[in-house]
């Protein structure tokens, strides 16, 4: 079974459905069949200004939303986005 190519519009639509993705400013980059999500730097994402380091919740949310967006793209149009019940990162 071959997969249909992912369009930039489909990726943007998937991200637009996730409010936190809009808040973080996540953007997709498509190069051929490779999909990469970019989390641009803003000072609002710094959790500890003494280090400075990204807030752990931002990193976890970024990982979660990229997985949800990939699932949405794989499931196709009209599919419901999955709801995350729990996520743990060590």
Average pLDDT, the chain: 79
Indicate the pTM of the whole model.
0.71
Q: What is the DSSP string of 10-23?
A: HHHHHHHT-HHHHH
Provide the β-strand partners of residue 53.
48
The better pLDDT of the pair 65, 75 is held by 65
Residue 80 has a pLDDT of: 72
Radius of gyration of the chain (CA): 14
pLDDT-based confidence at residue 40 (cuts at 50, 70, 90): very high
pLDDT-based confidence at residue 5 (cuts at 50, 70, 90): low
83 has a pLDDT exceeding 50 = yes
């Amino acid at each position: 079974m071959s997969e249909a190519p992912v369009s930039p519009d489909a990726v943007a639509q998937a991200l637009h459905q996730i409010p936190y993705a809009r808040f973080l400013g996540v953007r997709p980059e498509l190069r051929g069949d490779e999909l990469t999500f970019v989390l641009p730097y803003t000072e609002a994402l710094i959790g500890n200004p003494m280090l400075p380091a990204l807030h752990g919740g931002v990193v976890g949310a970024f990982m979660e939303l990229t997985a949800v967006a990939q699932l949405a793209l794989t499931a196709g149009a009209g599919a419901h986005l999955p709801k995350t019940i729990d996520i743990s990162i060590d």
